Structure 1
Amino acid sequence: MNVFTDDEIGKHLLNVINEEFRDGDLVELLAAFVSNKQEEGFSFGRMAHLHYALFGGQDRSVALQSVAAVEAFILALDILDDLEDQDGSEKRWMEEPIALAMNGSTALIMLATSMLQRVDSSGQAVARLSQSGMRAVTGQHHDLLKSIHSDESYFQMVENKSGSLMALACMVGTLLAKGEDDELVNAYSIEFGCAAQLANDIEDALRLDSTNDILHRKQTLPVLKLLEQEGEEADWLRHYYSRVITQDAFLERKKAIFEWASGSSAITYSTVKKRVYQLKAIEKVEDVDGKEEIKDQLIEFMQSI
C-alpha cells in the first residue's frame, strides 16, 4: 500500500484551511504552522492511514481527510504544549505573539473536528478525538505541575499524553474501516506511543541546543535517572534542578555534564525501557487480524524509532 506522502497531506490540509477560513491573515498564519509541522513529518497521520488500510479501508479520499484531521489536531496540541512549556523556540508558532499562536491552535482543533465529521457517519471517530484530547490534557497538566518524581508517575503521564495521542491516530483509522473498537490496537498503540516518547526524551536529554530538556528542568525518565546518579556532575545537576545554581552557572559546565550523561547508566536504563515498550507493541501487532502486508509496514515503522 502506498501511504500518503507528507506533501500530499500538507497540500490537502492547506486546501481545507483555504476553504474554511476566509481571513487572509489567519490562513497565512495556519499555513505557516502546517508547513513547519510538515518539515518534521506527519507520522501520526501515517499511523491513521495504515490502520485504515489494515482493516480493509479502501476509499483514499476518506483516508486522506481523516489523516489530515488527525495531523491538524496533533499540530494544535503541539502548539499549546510548546507555549505552555515555553519550549520549541525554533518552531514557527513560537515566533508569534502568544495570543495569536493560541488562537491558531484553537482554529486547528475546530478544523480537525469538522474535517473528521465529514467522513465519520457514526460519530465514533470524532468521539475518540475528544476523549483522547481530554486524556492528553490530563497528562500535560501533571507535566506542567512538575509532579513527575518516579518511574510510575512518569509512565502514567506518558501514557496519558503520547500514548493516548498515538492511540487516537490508530483508532481513527480503525474505526473508519471497521466501525468498531479494537482493544488490541488500542493497547499496542499506547505502548508504541510510550516507546516513541522515550526515544524523544533520550534524544532531548542529550542535545546541546536550546531545546535540551535538562536546560528547561524537565522531568523525563532519563533526567530522573540522572538525578539518582552519584558524582560531581550529578551534584551539579541536582543543584540546578533545585535552583541552587543559576542557568548561567549551569551552562558553564554544560558540555561536561552532557558528556557524562551520554555515557551514564541512566541513558542505558531509559533505552532498555523504550525497547521493552517497542517489543510489546510489535508482539501485539503480530496478533492482529488484519492484512499481513500492512502489519509488516506497521512493524517496520515501529522498529525504526
Structure 2
Amino acid sequence: MNQQVLDEMYRIVDRCIHTDDLNGLMKSFIAARAEGGSVWAELAECSHRMLGGQSPHITKAAALAELIMLTLDIVDDLQDRDKEHKVWMKCPETFTLNAVLGFLMVFMGEIGQLQLHAGQTAPLLTTEVSQLIVSAVNGQQKDINPLVNIKDESDYFNMVQLKSGSLIRLACYMGYSLVESQGEEISGRIDELAYSLGVIAQIENDVNNLEQFKGGNDLLQRKRTLPILYMLSQGRDSFPELIQFYEGEQTAEAFMQESSRDCLEAIADSGCLEYARIIQSLYYDKAEELFESIPGQSPWRERFRQATLGRFGTRALGNNG
C-alpha cells in the first residue's frame, strides 16, 4: 500500500469520525493493514492506469477499495475467531463492532461523493459497488454455513465466485469504472478474470488451511472446501470416521483426540491436496488466457499481473516447494 493511499484513508476517517478514541482505533486498524501488506489499492490503480485512465480521483477510489476490504476482513475474523493476534481481535469486541459500523458508513458516504465528482465517467458506481458487496456477503454466508449451503463442488464454486471473486472484481471495478473509454468487452474480460483469480486464491487458502491440523482448521469446523469435498467423496471406504464427524455423530473434540493422526494420514493418502492443485492449475491457465486478451499500458499491466497471477504462479503450476 503506497503512502498516498494510506494518507487518504486517514483523511477519510478524519473527515467523518470525530470521537477521538474511535478515530484512533480505526486508524490503528488501517495502520495494521498497511504493515501487513495489501494488494487491493494496487489492483484498483493498475486496473485504471493500464487502460489509460488518468482520473484525479483514482487515489481516493483505491483508498476506498482498501477501506471496504479491511471492513469485510474484520467481520470475517470476528466470525471465524481464528486470528486472535489481529489488533481488531485484541480490543473489546464492542469497540471493534463500532469501528466496523464507522467504516461502513464512511465508505458509503465517500463512494457517493466519488460518484458525484466522477460524473458521467462512473454513472453506476454506487449501484455496482453495492451489488458486488452484497454478492460477497452472500458468499460469506454460504461459507460460514456450509452444511446447509455446500453439498458438492458446484455449490463450492458458486460460493467462491460470490465470496472471493466478487471482492477481486470490486477492487478492479473501483479502478476501471473511472476510465472514460474502457469498453464493455474489456471490462467484461476483467470481471471474468477476477472470478478466476478468486478461485485460485480460495483454493490456495483451502490447501494451506488443511495442511495445518489445529483448532482453526476448516475440517474441524466442518467446512466443505474443495479438498475436503474430495475426501468426503472417498470417506465411506477410506476414512469412515470423517463421514461420522461431518454427519454430527462425533464432536470436534472427540474427533481431534481420537482421529487426528488418522486424519493427517488420510489427507496425505487421499490425493485431495493434489486434486485441488490440479483444479487450481486449470483456473490459473484460464486466468492467463484471459489476462493475455486484455490490452494495457506499461508498466501498469505488468504490475497488475504481478499482484495477481504472479502471487500464485509456481504453486498453481504444481510446484509445492
Shift of residue 224, structure 1, vs aligned partner: 1.2
Alpha-carbon distance between aligned partners in 2 of 1:272 and 1:178, rounded to the nearest angstrom:
39
Shift of residue 97, structure 1, vs aligned partner: 4.1
> Is residue 256 of structure 2 the alignment partner of residue 251 of structure 1?
yes
Task: Answer whether contact 2:220 2:252 (CA < 8 A) is retained.
Answer: yes
User: Residue by residue, what CA displacement relative to the aligned partner does 1:177-198 show, whole Å, maximum 9, x if unpaired?
Assistant: 2366421111111111121111
- 1:9-158 equivalence runs, <5 A: 9-59=5-55, 62-120=57-115, 121-122=118-119, 123-146=123-146, 147-158=149-160
- 1:158-237 equivalence runs, <5 A: 158-178=160-180, 181=184, 182-230=187-235, 234-237=239-242
Task: Answer whether contact 1:128 1:172 (CA < 8 A) is retained.
Answer: no
The percentage of counterpart residues that share the same residue type is 26
TM-score (ref. length: structure 2): 0.83
With over 3 angstroms needed to count, the CA separation of the structure-2 counterparts of 1:151 and 1:110, relative to structure 1, is same
Residue segments in structure 1 that go unaligned for 5+ positions in a row? none
1:304 maps to which of 311, 314, 317:
311
Letter of the aligned partner of 2:305 in structure 1? I
1:281 maps to which of 274, 280, 287:
287
User: Residue by residue, what CA displacement relative to the aligned partner does 1:116-155 show, whole Å, maximum 9, x if unpaired?
Assistant: 3444323433322111011112222322332211000000
Shift of residue 98, structure 1, vs aligned partner: 3.8
Task: Answer whether contact 1:89 1:211 (CA < 8 A) is retained.
Answer: no
SS of residue in 1 equivalent to 2:239? helix
With over 3 angstroms needed to count, the CA separation of the structure-2 counterparts of 1:27 and 1:209, relative to structure 1, is farther
Extract structure 1 runs of 4+ deviating beyond 6 A.
none
Match of 1:239 in 2: 244
Alpha-carbon distance between aligned partners in 2 of 1:295 and 1:263, rounded to the nearest angstrom:
41
Shift of residue 255, structure 1, vs aligned partner: 5.0
User: Residue by residue, what CA displacement relative to the aligned partner does 1:207-241 show, whole Å, maximum 9, x if unpaired?
Assistant: 24433212222221121112223488733332332
SS of residue in 2 equivalent to 1:228? helix
When structure 1 is superposed on structure 2, of 239-248 and 267-276 the one drifting more is 239-248
Match of 1:291 in 2: 297
Shift of residue 55, structure 1, vs aligned partner: 1.0
With over 3 angstroms needed to count, the CA separation of the structure-2 counterparts of 1:263 and 1:104, relative to structure 1, is farther
TM-score (ref. length: structure 1): 0.87
SS of residue in 1 equivalent to 2:234? coil
Q: How many residues align?
A: 300
Residue segments in structure 2 that go unaligned for 5+ positions in a row? 313-321
